[in-house]
Amino acid sequence: MIFYFSGTGNSLWAAEKISIAQGQKLFSIADEIKKNNFEYTLDDSELVGFVFPIYAWNAPKMVVDFINKLKLKNYKANYTFAISTCEANVGYTMRNLKDTLNSKGLELDSGFSIAMPSNYIILTHVKSKTSIEAILDTAEERIEEINTSIDKRENKFEITLGHFPYIKSKLINPLFMKYGIKPKKFFASNSCISCGLCEKVCPTNNIKVDGKPKWGTNCTQCLACINRCPKKAIEYGKSTRDKGRYYNPRCKK
């Protein structure tokens, strides 16, 4: 079974490819949390996989919270892997994830990172279509390599750490979690047609569309709302003004 979290399709695209190649069931972490479902029964040969984006050099809080509540019945050291999609590097994400899993009596046998286009339009600009397609071509090859490693049940960690992983994952990440997520900064411009898509795609049920969308405080900053609005009507303060929006063009969901 493969558990995934994705705001803008990169991780979902990778998770779907791996789940098809490996013949594994796919579960959306956001949907499972909404259903309050944390218990799963494993077959002896079943894999356990986690696929998610990197947020400030760590796994999203939702993913960590989900794993902390996870109960895997019939777990017999089933081969377990994690894949993080990122723009550039992941710091000590896999080390932290391994600690979280170990504290629950679960192992992490392998970990991989895949470079994908950035969806963090608060700080970056969306790349050109040509660059996005080139990055996704390389990512597709990488997904195939990862599939081969999983086929062989390899025990390896192939990740782009980046410079100063300790500082990024252990010091900057907690600061980002405390001060970097400001849902009050989201607003909808007059282009908003009240279609309700932002409410539907929000993984934390943090948006209510009553006329215009309103944001609560439970934001994980996946940026699904802002990137997926069909009218580009959602902004985050002044940071996203006149910038493009990103959703993985190869992800069909």
Ligand X SMILES: Cc1cc2nc3c(=O)[nH]c(=O)nc-3n(C[C@H](O)[C@H](O)[C@H](O)COP(=O)(O)O)c2cc1C
> Where on the chain is the footprint of ligand X (CB under 6 A)?
6-12, 53-57, 85-89, 116, 118-120, 221-223, 248
CA 124 from chain centre, in angstroms, equals 17
Assigned token pair, 43: 């077959």
Task: Kindly state the smallest distance separating residue 79's Cβ from ligand X, in Å.
Answer: 23
CA nearest 22: which of 152, 159, 158, 137? Answer: 152
DSSP lists the bridge partners of residue 112 as 83, 158
Tell me whether residue 206 or residue 221 sits nearer to ligand X (CB atom). Answer: 221
Amino acid at 45: S
Task: Kindly state the smallest distance separating residue 195's Cβ from ligand X, in Å.
Answer: 21
39 by Cβ neighbours in 10 Å (0-12 / 13-18 / 19+) ranks as exposed
Residues belonging to the chain: 253
Tokens 């802002």, residue located: 226
Tell me whether residue 107 or residue 243 sits nearer to ligand X (CB atom). Answer: 243
Tell me whether residue 240 or residue 248 sits nearer to ligand X (CB atom). Answer: 248
Task: Kindly state the smallest distance separating residue 223's Cβ from ligand X, in Å.
Answer: 5
Tell me whether residue 83 or residue 108 sits nearer to ligand X (CB atom). Answer: 83
Task: Kindly state the smallest distance separating residue 7's Cβ from ligand X, in Å.
Answer: 3
Per DSSP, the three-state class of 229 is coil
Tell me whether residue 9 or residue 213 sits nearer to ligand X (CB atom). Answer: 9
Task: Kindly state the smallest distance separating residue 194's Cβ from ligand X, in Å.
Answer: 25
Q: What contacts 201, CB < 8 A, 6 or more positions away? A: 224, 225, 228
